[in-house]
C-alpha cells in the first residue's frame, strides 16, 4: 500500500464531491477519482463509509474518511501549501460556523424550493432569501467586508463550501421557475459568485451547465411525480 496515494470516491453532480475535488486542486494534490453510482453503491464505498454510505469519501493511503467538511479540514492539515482554513482561531471558528450554516440552513432551503410547489415553494424561496441576505450582510459589513473572497484574496474553505453549491442556484432557478440569486437584492453575493465561477480550478471541476440542467430537469420531473402520487 502506497501511504501517499489519494483516492476520491464521488459522483459527478455532487456539490459535496466538488468541494473535495476543488480543495485537492487548489493544493496541487494528485488524486485518483472514482465515479460512484449512488443508486448502486459499490463494495468499496460501503466498506469505506459504512456509517453514512455516501460520497465523497477520501482514501489517503489506507485511511478512509467521509463527510466533506471533515475531509476539507484533513486536506488542509495534511497538505500545508495554499491554506484554505484561516490562521486566526476566531476566524477559523467563524469559517466553520458559516460552513455549517451553508449545510444546515441555506442548502436545505434551496432543496425545498426544488422539491415543492405553490405556497410551500413560496415559503421556501422566502427562506433562501433570508439566508442569502445574511451572507450579503456578512460580505458587505461583517468579517468578510472588503474581501474579494470569504477567504481573503484567495479562495478559502467557506468559498469552497458555499461556492460549490451555488452554481445549482441558477440551475434550480431555471428548472423550478423561480428567482433566487437576485443581483439587485444581493449585489455582493452575486458578484462574489461570478468571480468564484471564473477561477481556473473552479471551471475545471464544475460540470457543464447543460449537463447539470438536463440532470436537474429529470430529477425535478421525478420529484413532481412523487408529489402527485402522495396527494390524497
Ligand X SMILES: N[C@@H](CCC(=O)N[C@@H](CS)C(=O)NCC(=O)O)C(=O)O
Residues at the contact surface with ligand X, assessed by CB under 6 A: 11, 14, 16, 38, 53-56, 67-69
Element (H, E) at 66: strand 63-66
Nearest approach in angstroms of CB 116 to ligand X is: 19
Q: Tell me the closest approach of the beta carbon of residue 201 to ligand X, in angstroms.
A: 19
To ligand X, the closest distance from the beta carbon of 101 in angstroms equals 14
- Strand 32-35 and strand 6-10: pairing? parallel
Supply the minimum distance, in Å, between the C-beta of residue 13 and ligand X. 7
Which residue sits closest to ligand X, CB atoms considered?
Answer: 54
Question: What sign does the dihedral 128-129-130-134 (CA atoms) show?
Answer: positive
Which of 68/131 has CB closer to ligand X? 68
CA dihedral 208, 211, 215, 218 (to 10 degrees): 140
- Closer by beta carbon to ligand X, 72 or else 155: 72
- Closest to ligand X by CB, 48 vs 186, is 48
Side-chain-side CA neighbours of residue 97 (13 Å): 10
Radius of gyration of the chain (CA): 18
Closest to ligand X by CB, 14 or 48: 14
Amino acid at each position: 500500500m502506497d501511504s501517499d496515494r489519494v483516492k476520491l470516491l464521488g459522483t459527478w453532480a455532487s456539490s459535496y464531491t466538488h468541494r473535495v475535488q476543488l480543495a485537492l486542486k487548489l493544493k496541487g494534490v494528485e488524486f485518483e477519482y472514482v465515479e460512484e453510482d449512488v443508486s448502486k453503491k459499490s463494495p468499496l464505498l460501503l466498506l469505506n463509509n459504512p456509517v453514512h454510505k455516501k460520497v465523497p469519501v477520501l482514501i489517503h493511503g489506507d485511511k478512509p474518511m467521509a463527510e466533506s467538511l471533515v475531509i476539507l479540514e484533513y486536506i488542509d492539515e495534511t497538505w500545508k501549501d495554499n491554506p484554505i482554513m484561516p490562521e486566526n482561531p476566531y476566524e477559523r471558528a467563524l469559517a466553520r460556523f458559516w460552513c455549517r450554516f451553508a449545510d444546515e440552513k441555506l442548502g436545505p432551503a434551496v432543496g425545498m424550493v426544488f422539491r415543492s410547489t405553490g405556497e410551500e415553494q413560496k415559503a421556501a424561496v422566502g427562506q433562501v432569501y433570508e439566508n442569502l441576505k445574511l451572507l450579503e450582510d456578512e460580505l458587505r459589513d461583517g468579517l468578510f467586508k472588503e474581501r474579494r473572497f470569504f477567504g481573503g484574496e484567495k479562495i478559502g474553505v467557506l468559498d469552497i463550501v458555499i461556492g460549490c453549491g451555488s452554481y445549482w442556484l441558477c440551475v434550480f432557478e431555471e428548472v423550478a421557475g423561480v428567482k433566487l440569486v437576485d443581483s439587485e437584492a444581493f449585489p455582493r453575493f452575486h458578484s462574489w459568485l461570478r468571480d468564484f465561477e471564473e477561477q481556473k480550478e473552479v471551471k475545471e471541476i464544475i460540470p457543464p451547465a447543460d449537463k447539470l440542467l438536463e440532470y436537474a430537469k429529470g430529477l425535478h420531473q421525478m420529484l413532481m411525480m412523487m408529489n402527485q402520487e402522495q396527494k390524497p
